[in-house]
């Protein structure tokens, strides 16, 4: 059962405790005064939910649970990815340095993510097919890089975290789809099989690589450029991003089912200088207008149901993508979009302070983490832009510029 909200919780997505944005702070405080629960209480309750959903209390695991199983077990890729997303929310929310429960939980999460590099089903040398280890690679890398950027990795875990960072970065780059570029959890059989890329997976994976490059890790520009090209090829004339592959290969399935993909793809392309604020604005407008089609599939059984093929797991993914996209718009436009997206997000908050877009209880850790990350998007800053490295200088260049 969800709370009935007659007014929006916040006009911005962040409070001053996060806030480098004074206007967002003022708008937020003005709206919070009209509600029965404060923004701080929403965040605190969400963090308590995530801490309380740690598997077996001290395992350092927050598995994402869907219908896919390996040997009737949740695949390790979902365990690693879900843990990384939960730890991102725990670590990046206010007060982390003074919250021993969160500090200890994230430390255990780092240990699990680092230890998982030796798991047989996280090995990048695999033969394709339907496999979700790539989700683990992407979100583990994002977590470790965000913690490194903010100097939040404990001294006694720094070496194992660094080794894991290099592992996940290498795994991502070595598992790009041959020829087509990008990534997809549903690939053809055979390591060298050419398969269509998934924007749902390629967008966040590219953003992890952008962040890695900004922190001076060695990122293969060819991998990035091929993946960006795959996103561009997936655009239909309507602005929709097809589920996978090239938009010219099939009839588009409809914008209402594609808004999450549109948001992540246009934001990622924009960060690489290959999209526009107009495209981002269009994707945000489509998300708001067609939100009911996403909500109709939230926490329902099944996956890609007609008429638009919306699966439940797009729901909070799309909200976070929307919150991040807003921060790429001109400053003057952000407050209203923040208000609209926050209002939609708060409509699905449960009475216990959680968010969940699946029928599985443990996946509330994922949904709640995605919601909290969306709520603080203004203060987290956008993903670094991708700047293609210059080619190495030739002898002729040296002669021209002695």
Residue 377 lies in a domain: no
Angle between helices 259-271 and 277-289 in degrees, nearest 10: 160
User: Is residue 239 pLDDT above 80, yes or no?
Assistant: yes
Residue 33 lies in a domain: no
Tell me what pLDDT residue 250 has: 59
CB 363 within 8 A of CB 60: no
Tell me what pLDDT residue 37 has: 82
341: which residues sit within 8 A by CB, 6+ positions away? Answer: 13, 284, 287, 288, 319, 322, 323, 326, 374
Higher pLDDT, 34 or 201: 201
- Residue 307 pLDDT class (50, 70, 90 cuts): low
- Pick left, alpha or beta for residue 181 (phi over 0 → left; psi -120 to 50 → alpha; otherwise beta): left
Residue 76 lies in a domain: yes
Residue 1 lies in a domain: no
Question: Residues 73-90: pLDDT tens digits?
Answer: 899 999 999 999 999 999
Mean pLDDT computed over 140-148: 99
Per the structure, the complete domain to which residue 93 belongs is given by: 50-181+195-330
Residue 254 lies in a domain: yes
Higher pLDDT, 220 or 306: 220
**CATH at 172:** 1.50.10.10
Number of domains present in the structure of the chain: 1
Q: What is the residue-averaged pLDDT of the chain?
A: 87
Residue 123 lies in a domain: yes
User: Is residue 338 pLDDT above 50, yes or no?
Assistant: yes
Mean pLDDT computed over 257-286: 97
Residue 307: asked if its preceding bond is cis (omega within 30°), the reply is yes
Using CA atoms, how far residue 196 sits from 101, 185, 202, 249, in Å, is 43, 10, 11, 10
Q: CA-to-CA distance for 352 and 343, rounded, in angstroms?
A: 18
Q: CA-to-CA distance for 29 and 17, rounded, in angstroms?
A: 11
Question: Residues 240-268: pLDDT tens digits?
Answer: 999 899 997 555 568 888 999 999 999 99
Residue 80 lies in a domain: yes
pTM recorded for the entire structure: 0.88
Please tell me whether residue 68 adopts helix, strand or coil conformation.
coil
Tokens at 257, concatenated: 């089912």
% of the chain surpassing 70 pLDDT: 86
CB 183 within 8 A of CB 208: no
% of the chain surpassing 90 pLDDT: 68
Residue 220 lies in a domain: yes
């Amino acid at each position: 059962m969800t709370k009935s909200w007659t007014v929006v919780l916040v006009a911005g997505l962040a409070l001053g405790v996060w806030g480098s944005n004074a206007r967002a702070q003022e708008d937020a405080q003005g709206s919070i005064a009209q509600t029965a629960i404060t923004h701080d209480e929403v965040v605190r309750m969400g963090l308590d939910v995530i801490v309380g959903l740690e598997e077996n209390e001290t395992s350092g695991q927050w598995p994402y649970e869907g219908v896919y199983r390996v040997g009737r077990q949740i695949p390790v890729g979902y365990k690693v990815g879900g843990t990384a997303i939960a730890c991102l929310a725990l670590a990046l929310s206010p007060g982390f340095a003074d919250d021993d429960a969160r500090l200890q939980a994230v430390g255990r999460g780092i240990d699990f993510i680092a230890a998982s590099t030796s798991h047989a089903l996280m090995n990048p040398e695999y033969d394709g097919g339907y496999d979700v280890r790539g989700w683990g690679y992407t979100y583990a890398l994002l977590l470790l890089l965000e913690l490194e950027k903010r100097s939040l990795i404990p001294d006694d875990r720094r070496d194992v975290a660094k080794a894991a960072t290099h592992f996940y970065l290498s795994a991502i780059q070595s598992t790009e789809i041959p020829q087509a570029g990008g990534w997809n959890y549903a690939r053809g059989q055979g390591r060298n099989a050419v398969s269509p890329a998934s924007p749902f997976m390629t967008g966040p994976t590219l953003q992890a690589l952008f962040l890695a490059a900004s922190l001076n890790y060695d990122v293969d520009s060819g991998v990035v450029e091929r993946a960006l090209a795959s996103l561009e090829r997936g655009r239909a004339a309507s602005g929709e991003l097809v589920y996978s592959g090239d938009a010219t290969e099939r009839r588009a399935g409809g914008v209402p089912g594609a808004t999450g993909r549109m948001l992540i793809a246009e934001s990622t392309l924009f960060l690489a200088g290959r999209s526009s604020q107009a495209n981002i604005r269009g994707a945000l407008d489509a998300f708001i207008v067609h939100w009911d089609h996403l909500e109709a599939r939230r926490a329902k059984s099944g996956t890609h149901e007609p008429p638009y093929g919306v699966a439940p797991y797009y729901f909070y993914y799309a909200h976070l993508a929307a919150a991040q996209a807003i921060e790429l718009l001109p400053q003057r436009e952000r407050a209203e979009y923040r208000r609209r997206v926050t209002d939609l997000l708060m409509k699905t908050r449960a009475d216990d302070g959680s968010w969940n877009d699946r029928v599985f209880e443990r996946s509330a850790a994922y949904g709640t983490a995605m919601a909290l990350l969306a709520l603080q998007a203004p203060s987290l800053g956008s993903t670094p832009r991708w700047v293609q490295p210059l080619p190495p200088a030739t002898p002729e260049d040296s002669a021209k510029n002695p």
